[in-house]
Amino acid sequence: MSTLDDVLHFKNEKSRTISAENKTGEPGRAAMATGKLGPQRKGSADISLDQGETVTLADIQGPGEIRHMWFTVTDKTTKGSFVLRDLVLRMYWDNEENPSVEVPLGDFFCNGFASRCLVNSVPIVVNPFGGMNSYFKMPFNHHAKITITNEHPGFIKHFFYTINYVEKPQEDPELLYFHAFWNREDPVKKGRDYTLIDGVQGQGYYVGTYMAICALQRYWWGEGEFKFYLDDDEQFPTVTSTGAEDYFGGAWAFQKQEYGQLPQTYTYSTAFQGYPFHETQDHTRDLFSAGKPDPNSVHACGNDGLPQHGLYRWHLSDPIAFSNRLKVTFQDIGNDDIGLYERSDDISTVAYWYQTEPHSPFRPFLARADRLPR
């Protein structure tokens, strides 16, 4: 957490920016495009994405380090309301064939369920109305490639992006590379732990969790523990939590409970822990008028939905170290008036970590039909 100290000593770095106006980051070539106001007057602020198209947003020769990324895009089209789940973000370091990052765009920025929410944390910030920012440092020695794939049923007319990075004077032989993996189980099998990641081999640090859980059963859903199996752990983990809301920094089901009154649920967004999204209405069922959302009209079947919860926990000040192996799981356990019970909810997660390369390939990415609500 030395961000404020990073500017006290010059490191011979060179600042660069990639955007729709300078797709290569070449120095002295930004803001050159011609627009309605003439040359060099905001001529190319965005790109479009055809259905099924993959676009390379960044193709950078190293050594270097990505310091900030900003994206924004509509969350709905006339073809559907799942744009933030239909756009898939991938990142490749040092000419690897298998991506180190493979996550739906919204989920990467803690906006699961293809629904927007504001996030005010250290590495991930989402501002009104859909300005998605990442401040994770992403270093590389030889090459960095970032792509976006449009798996939405329709054409995306406007996709905006900015990627800020530095060129470094020399390689780092002890580099740890940024990784992020998205997973989903719908539903989780009762009595079996949900797996966030498994098969991670090498040295590194686990630095964050995002969870989007849709409660498919009644009552309190967050009694389960997170388990971190490190190195030689087999049956039992080394690091664990005391419950879901405890892991995300809250307590007592995030609710204010007073006798004779219905409990009130509180959301929050802080530097390292947050519960920014709680919703019981499904706004993906909103209808459209002339291609735009109509806030006064809902689907004929209504927009009532199952409770949805989005939560994050960053381990940046307390990273979880592993020397050769890492596995992370979560127990889907609830609590009612009788006591604890096994649950079977719809859970999606993003695991964020740094490790040495090469990494083990991720299991096959879920097809679009398996990523979206049923």
285, 117, 334: which is closest to 212 by C-alpha? Answer: 117
334 and 207 inside one domain: yes
Same domain membership, residue 233 and residue 184: yes
The reply to whether 148 and 182 lie within a common domain is no
**44-78 per-position pLDDT tens digit:** 789 999 999 999 999 999 999 999 999 999 999 98
Q: What percent of the chain has pLDDT over 90?
A: 79
* Single-letter amino acid code for the residue at 209: T
Out of 115, 146, 172, pick the residue that ends a domain. 172
Report which secondary-structure segment, H or E, holds 159: strand 156-167
Q: Is residue 234 part of a domain?
A: yes
pLDDT in tens, 233-291: 999 999 999 999 999 999 999 998 777 667 789 999 999 999 999 999 887 776 554 35
How much is the pLDDT for 51?
A: 97
On whether both 112 and 242 belong to a single domain, the answer is no
Q: Does 237 map to a domain?
A: yes
In a domain, 367, yes or no: no
Amino acid at 352: Y
Residue 230 maps to a domain: yes
User: Would you state the pLDDT for residue 91?
Assistant: 98
Residue 289's pLDDT is: 42
The chain-wide mean pLDDT, for the chain, equals 92
Residue 251 class from Cβ within 10 Å (0-12 exposed, 13-18 middle, 19+ buried)?
A: exposed
Instruction: Name the domain boundary from 151, 172, 193.
Output: 172
With respect to residue 31, please indicate whether it lies within any of the assigned structural domains: no
Could you give the C-alpha distances from 69 to 11, 34, 163, 182, 327, in angstroms and in order? 21, 24, 5, 19, 28
C-alpha closest to that of 73 among 43, 110, 106, 117: 106
Residue 35: the pLDDT is 77
Tell whether 148 and 15 lie within a shared domain: yes
How many domains does the chain divide into? 2
Residues 187 and 150 in one domain: no
**Which of 112, 139, 172 represents a domain boundary (last residue)?**
172
Does one domain contain both 71 and 163? yes
Residue 256: its pLDDT value, please? 83
156-182 burial, b at 16+ Cβ within 10 Å, e below that, comes to beebebbbbbbbbeeeeeebbbbbbbb
| pLDDT for res 324 | 96
Residue 105 is encoded by which pair of tokens? 């765009």
For residue 32, tell me if it sits in a domain: no
Residues 331, 195, single domain; the answer is: yes
Q: 340 lies in a domain?
A: yes
pLDDT tens per residue across all 374 residues of the chain: 567 778 888 999 999 999 999 999 999 988 877 777 887 777 778 999 999 999 999 999 999 999 999 999 999 998 989 999 999 999 999 999 999 999 999 999 999 999 999 999 999 999 999 999 999 999 999 999 999 999 999 999 999 999 999 999 999 999 999 999 999 999 999 999 999 999 999 999 999 999 999 999 999 999 999 999 999 999 999 999 999 999 999 999 999 877 766 778 999 999 999 999 999 988 777 655 435 555 555 555 667 789 999 999 999 999 999 999 999 999 999 999 889 999 999 999 999 999 999 998 998 999 999 998 77
Burial of 97 (C-beta count, 10 Å sphere; 0-12/13-18/19+): exposed
> Do residues 280 and 187 share a domain?
yes
183 and 280 fall within a common domain: yes
Same domain, 151 and 209: no
pLDDT for residue 180: 98
Domain-embedded: residue 35: no
Q: What's the domain range around 183?
A: 176-362
List the CATH number of the domain containing 313. Answer: 2.60.120.1390
Same domain for 115 and 210, yes or no, is no
SS3 315: coil
